[in-house]
Amino acid sequence: MKKGFVFDLDGVITDTAKYHYIAWKELAAEIGIEIDLKFNEQLKGISRMDSLERILTLGNKNDAYTEVEKEALATKKNTHYVQLLQSLTPDDLLPGVKTFLDEAKAKNIPCAIASASKNAPFILDKLGVMQDFDTIVDPATLKKGKPDPEIFIQAALALGIEPAEAVGFEDAQAGIDGIKAAGMYAVGVYSGEELHGADVIVEKLTDLNIDELLAK
C-alpha cells in the first residue's frame, strides 16, 4: 500500500518551462550563446547551476567564468525568471491538478514537492495551492540533483513514510530516473518529452484513480 505522494513542480503542477526558457535564452544571448527549444529540453528537472553549466558547455565557455561569476549569471537569470512569474495565478495550474490534490486531501494522503526549483514556495503561493502540500524539499539542502534519488528520498522521509510507500510524479526523464532509484512507483506526466521507465504515463493527473494508485 502506498501512503503518500511526491510531486515535481514544473510540468506536473504548473508549466513554468516557458519562463525558464525565456530567461535562459536571454542570459545565453548576453554571453554569446544561442539556445533553442530542443536544447531547452535538456534543462528540465535539473538545478540552476547544472543548467548554466550545460549552456556554457554548448558555447565552449566552461572555463570562461569563475565560480563567483557563474553564481552571478545564475542569479541574474533567476531574477528575470521571478519577474516573469509575477503573472502566475491559480488559472495556471495544469488541468486536473486541483481536483487531484483536493481528492488526496479528502483521503488524508500527505503530499510533498520535490523540485529543483528554489522558487517552489513562491510559485505554489501564486498558484493558490501552498496549503495542499505538507512539505517542500529545500534544494539547497541537497548534495546531488536529479537523477540522483536524494530529493525523493528526503521528501518521503519528511512525510513520515518510506520511499517505497510513496508515489512520485514527474514529467522529465531525470526525475523518473530519480523516482525509480528511490524505490518509488513512478507516474510520468507527458509534456512532450518521451519518458522511459515510468510505471504509468498520463496526460493529466485526473487520468489516474487515487485508490488504484494507493494499492500499488
10, 15, 63, 207: the catalytic one is 10
- Does 209 count as an annotated binding residue? no
Q: Cα separation of 4 and 135, whole Å?
A: 11
Instruction: Tell me whether residue 117 is annotated as binding.
Output: yes
Q: Is the peptide bond before 110 cis (omega within 30 degrees of 0)?
A: no
**Is residue 138 flagged as an active site residue?**
no
10 is annotated as contributing to ligand binding: yes
Is 177 assigned to a binding site?
no
**DSSP β-bridge partners for residue 7:** 113, 169
Residue 118 assigned as binding residue: yes
Where helices occur in the chain by DSSP H, the ranges are: 17-30, 37-40, 48-58, 67-85, 97-106, 120-127, 150-158, 173-181, 210-214
* Cell digits of residue 88: 502566475
- Establish whether 87 is an annotated binding residue: no
51 is in an annotated binding site: yes
Residue of 8, 91, 148, 199 marked catalytic: 8
- The values of phi and psi at residue 128, to 5°, are 80, 25
CA angle 124/197/134 to nearest 5° reads: 25
Q: Catalytic site residue 10? A: yes
Which residues lie across from 93 on neighbouring strands?
14
Q: Is 145 annotated as a binding residue?
A: no
Residue 119 annotated as binding site = yes
Provide the pairing of β-strand 166-170 with 135-136.
Answer: unpaired
Q: Is 46 annotated as a binding residue?
A: yes
Q: Is 106 annotated as a binding residue?
A: no
Tell me how far apart the alpha carbons of residues 12 and 195 are, in angstroms, rounded to a whole number: 14
Question: Is 24 annotated in some ligand binding site?
Answer: yes
Whether 6 and 176 have beta carbons less than 8 Å apart is answered as: no
Residue 200: CB atoms within 10 Å? 14
9 marked as part of a ligand binding site: yes
Could you tell me which of 57, 44, 55 has the C-alpha nearest to residue 177?
44
Question: Binding site for substrate: which residues?
Answer: 8-10, 24, 43-48, 51, 77, 115-119, 146
Catalytically active residues are 8, 10
Question: Binding site for Mg(2+): which residues?
Answer: 8, 10, 170-171
Question: Binding site: which residues?
Answer: 8-10, 24, 43-48, 51, 77, 115-119, 146, 170-171
